[in-house]
Structure 1
């Protein structure tokens, strides 16, 4: 089915003389387009959260269309047709006044979610709006990943939100992500601070020099933790000093997948696309599902360890159709500090994914493992 997610796309569709039958129109203000709707074939057409004049509404219902009405009084659109951008979520933020974050759409949505009870909201309408929103985000994410008719080579980097700027681990993740982006991989993460921010910082600097990345790391290190007052301001300082040019975007794009469930942690603004969810469970499972090129685990705590075993379950039962690499960055950490790897290695014995497990401190080993796996996937595709 055709999805029309902007007025421009709707008008172009009509200009071509194409039918509206079985077309999905998503989140459009169609006031002023009543005449066009009255003369259209609307059998099977779906209007998701569209603004319709009374005459148009009566006509589309009479002609067999489905109408999902818009919600009022929400700081977000349940039927949005695209992912978020940092510019949208942080609209109104002034780096000179860090407290201005409270006035941004991201903060207002989190405040609204919290005021409704968070995960324990008693309102059926609010939970319905949140589920519809998350469904729309998933749809937009799938469209992004089908890049120019070919699936992107998605690699995820997981790791703790408490990883501080200025630490060797943070630099290591940023440098690794930078090299992966240069090799054509599309980087995704949980979209928050710490190791997640380092992932998108690395992708942002994929077309810049080592010295420029180093200078940016020094700026960020002046506010090491997301709890620091200037954490977000320093990120915007880096964005302003080393902006992405139009020609950079195809090489430096990345996607963060955060959640308002952890809304006290602002999404990092280095991800060019942000798929922000209300439901953390949907966000976690979806993030691991799309990372068919492999998942890298940098040091983290309970959330990262949860992701390890969610990923292991997907690989163990091959629930997503691809058994992909699970790579652990930090031998000491994953065998002694958080001795997850020995248990996972035992769990994987006799399973296909056992050969895709890697424990290493070497960036080169990680890059080679992911490149080799990507070639293996391409060979399988050619053989079909």
Structure 2
């Protein structure tokens, strides 16, 4: 079944780079060229086919060339250089980019500056700001397509497993350590971990993936180091993370999908790739859509509960053509404190995803269940 991330669902829109342009491509109709410096390119523009469906976004051309292309119908769009973010990006973020300018005593990081810019317009942006934000989030979508690499059948080549849970969970919490160990086991078994990109359970998931292959004594050292600043509001929170990165510089890959919508939280330093969105609704739907090999739900609050039912809805109606595992890592939370697991069992009765619900406190059982319950294709 086509989805927003499979080739069949994408509009006829090609983002091309310099190599494609110079390799003999001559028809630029229904083509968008993004963020290319074409000033040094020797090219016979008259030989290229262009019309009103040809769009140059953020490209740099000699003025005479641009004017000639405009006369032939091509369209051009350029974002202001005063924005703290780039509306059109070639790649996802990495933590070093978002943390550029950070100092524990004076946070002037790019991440914070983008949030401060966004804070004054997130509820009612003017048309220009809304356009730049939408283009930015489209670029993040494109980056995810390239990273996850979906097949035409809708399944990703990477075996994606998502983690959800409380952003306020302390680094000293048993839920944090349990989530970390679960993500580590899954990564070691070949799964690609995705989190919401914040602190708490989300950090535990990316950190667990990062530490794949490390020993039990290494994990104990990591948890002791993190205990010096257990909450993301504590002084030294990022410093503790830097100590881990210094000791283990070559961690395994994982993905974080955060948002600026909920406010400024410390950047997750353990995710290799960061797909950060302005739109939280797109971000949440995207995270659930791409985690086709399952989602692990550690204890969380209202946000986690919302995501549970969004995921259940996708499974219930077969939104993306597959049923995926929903694993609840916290027996007390999901049976005694909230009754969420029994409720889902009632909703799933008679549906294919009834067999894809699982409750446990054991990271090893999570791995076994996900191994035995691959994405189920719906007819």
Task: State the TM-score, normalizing by the size of structure 1.
Answer: 0.88
Worse-superposed segment, 166-175 or 139-148? 139-148
| Structure 1 equivalent of residue 140 of structure 2 | 137
Task: Determine which structure has the larger helix proportion and give its number.
Answer: 1
| Structure 1 equivalent of residue 228 of structure 2 | 222
Q: Please list the CA deviations of residues 153-172 of structure 1 after superposition, one character each: whole Å capped at 9, or x if unmatched.
A: 11001000011112211111
| Structure 2 equivalent of residue 198 of structure 1 | 204
Question: Do residues 189 (structure 1) and 187 (structure 2) align?
Answer: no
Secondary structure at the counterpart of residue 19 of structure 1? coil
- Cα deviation for residue 338 of structure 1 reads 2.2
| Structure 2 equivalent of residue 370 of structure 1 | 370
- Cα deviation for residue 39 of structure 1 reads 5.0
| Structure 1 equivalent of residue 3 of structure 2 | none
Question: Do residues 13 (structure 1) and 17 (structure 2) align?
Answer: no
- Cα deviation for residue 61 of structure 1 reads 2.2
Query: Retained in 1: the 8 A contact 2:185–2:364?
Result: no
Query: Retained in 1: the 8 A contact 2:159–2:191?
Result: yes
- Cα deviation for residue 51 of structure 1 reads 2.6
| Structure 1 equivalent of residue 297 of structure 2 | 297
Question: Do residues 3 (structure 1) and 8 (structure 2) align?
Answer: no
| Structure 2 equivalent of residue 160 of structure 1 | 166
Q: Structure 2: how far apart are the matches of 1:121 and 1:243?
A: 42
Higher normalized contact order (CA 8 Å, seq sep 6+, divided by chain length): 2
| Structure 2 equivalent of residue 59 of structure 1 | 68
Q: Structure 2: how far apart are the matches of 1:147 and 1:219?
A: 38
Q: Structure 1: how far apart are the matches of 2:261 and 2:171?
A: 23
Unaligned runs of 5+ in 2: 1-12
Query: Retained in 1: the 8 A contact 2:33–2:59?
Result: yes
Worse-superposed segment, 208-217 or 140-149? 140-149
Q: Structure 2: how far apart are the matches of 1:84 and 1:170?
A: 25
| Structure 2 equivalent of residue 343 of structure 1 | 343
Q: Structure 1: how far apart are the matches of 2:57 and 2:49?
A: 14
Q: Structure 2: how far apart are the matches of 1:165 and 1:357?
A: 27
Q: Residue 212 of structure 1: which of 204, 212, 218 is its match?
A: 218
Q: Structure 1: how far apart are the matches of 2:21 and 2:137?
A: 29
Secondary structure at the counterpart of residue 281 of structure 1? helix
- Cα deviation for residue 50 of structure 1 reads 1.8
- Cα deviation for residue 263 of structure 1 reads 3.0
Q: Please list the CA deviations of residues 38-57 of structure 1 after superposition, one character each: whole Å capped at 9, or x if unmatched.
A: 35514254322223332122
RMSD: 2.2
* Alpha carbons of structure 1 residues 37 and 336: separation in structure 2 relative to 1, 3 Å: farther
Q: Structure 2: how far apart are the matches of 1:253 and 1:76?
A: 25
| Structure 1 equivalent of residue 5 of structure 2 | none
Secondary structure at the counterpart of residue 364 of structure 2? helix
Q: Structure 2: how far apart are the matches of 1:206 and 1:148?
A: 26
Q: Residue 28 of structure 1: which of 11, 36, 40 is its match?
A: 36
Q: Structure 1: how far apart are the matches of 2:150 and 2:125?
A: 39
Query: Retained in 2: the 8 A contact 1:158–1:298?
Result: yes
| Structure 1 equivalent of residue 157 of structure 2 | 151
Unaligned runs of 5+ in 1: none
Aligned residues: 361
Query: Retained in 1: the 8 A contact 2:168–2:199?
Result: yes
Q: Residue 179 of structure 2: which of 162, 173, 183 is its match?
A: 173
Q: Structure 1: how far apart are the matches of 2:87 and 2:27?
A: 22
Task: State the TM-score, normalizing by the size of structure 2.
Answer: 0.89
Q: Structure 1: how far apart are the matches of 2:21 and 2:188?
A: 41
- Cα deviation for residue 147 of structure 1 reads 7.4
Q: Structure 2: how far apart are the matches of 1:144 and 1:99?
A: 35
| Structure 2 equivalent of residue 68 of structure 1 | 77
- Cα deviation for residue 37 of structure 1 reads 6.2
Q: Structure 1: how far apart are the matches of 2:139 and 2:47?
A: 26
Query: Retained in 2: the 8 A contact 1:20–1:45?
Result: no
Secondary structure at the counterpart of residue 33 of structure 2? strand
Query: Retained in 1: the 8 A contact 2:292–2:322?
Result: yes
Worse-superposed segment, 288-297 or 146-155? 146-155
Alignment of 1:323-338 (within 5 A): 323-338=323-338
